[in-house]
Structure 1
């Protein structure tokens, strides 16, 4: 498997994505930037693109303590195959979990609080030393993501980069096939979007790709892209 993302010849969308990643990781147009990856269903494409630009780029992976074993194994396999040298696994503080969710059942009564404890607080702390971060969000994933832009400004002033915002499912599939990228092992079992094991279920034909996340609840995002209950998107401060 090659990490040379310029072969075969890149499409316009792929070329624009590579340009944005070079601006972020090589030119440092947005300051110090880290990638944030769930090593989930569609993570391989973005990670491969990042590796083709800078294998030493920091990649933050949040281990909530409730992930599928397959996700942890996939993280190790993909990082090794792509040659990523700075994958940082971050976790909620043991004391915080003991104080708030000692029995591991908070997701049953208050999934927002569980995500805040195990993901949002953890990522916020890890991003304190960075000026911005790279996400794998795409417009096609859900209605709540249908208007995201490749470059946004988060409510905390950091730059949020969404290099794959305009990629379609066909774009992703073609790229993954061209570079022989290994799929997450749960994708073939009906999981097109993968989060914590306790809050993710298979998706039925015709459903939204994220329909299996927090099924049966009025919840579509874990919270790392939400401020005070709302999805906040600001125009980028960098021209």
Structure 2
């Protein structure tokens, strides 16, 4: 039966009924077997014929099932009085509204995580400079993404970043500033790498990295190498205190040894 043909007074076949209602022949056979939707007409040869009322019942079953009701519950509803059915529909609608809100919240969270993965920081350039200082370059986050976007550490960083507010970043920036002041003071006072004080500062530095992604002592050694060899990183640390880049590398290596890691063989785990 199509939109342009007259309805068959004897109803439609199970195949046509399945197509019209968006279900399957197997499903309609099952619903007939359990008495949920039994066609009004059946020929002597056993062929089912579904009339308009049967098709309407199928559609009501599909609505209730999509809302999460069991087939037994649906049968009871369809065979009860109208007020029970309407009450159930209202209850199901309320549940669906809640589920839609939950899904929308989940979608928003996923969008934020994707955005964090692409941008690194969910802060405007102005917010970044206001929080991290005038020496901060907003392009650094993009460069970090280009360098490490395919790593587990970047994925971990992006997930954490997605949940951080400007106030969270401000607290992190304040902690980093306090740490760098302590490192600069240690360099000026001639604190020896490998001493208890230097090891404590190296651990504080590793913990500061650990706020972005899990940083082992072996990984910390690899970062220390980069701080000394990379011109931009070295320039940053030496601007905090002359010689800090070299001192920090030495302090990180010594602290790693104290934790059983040989800096000469350390790798990015």
TM-score by length of 1: 0.26
TM-score by length of 2: 0.24
Q: As a proportion of its length, which structure holds more helix?
A: 2
Q: As a proportion of its length, which structure holds more strand?
A: 1
Select the structure of larger CA radius of gyration: 2
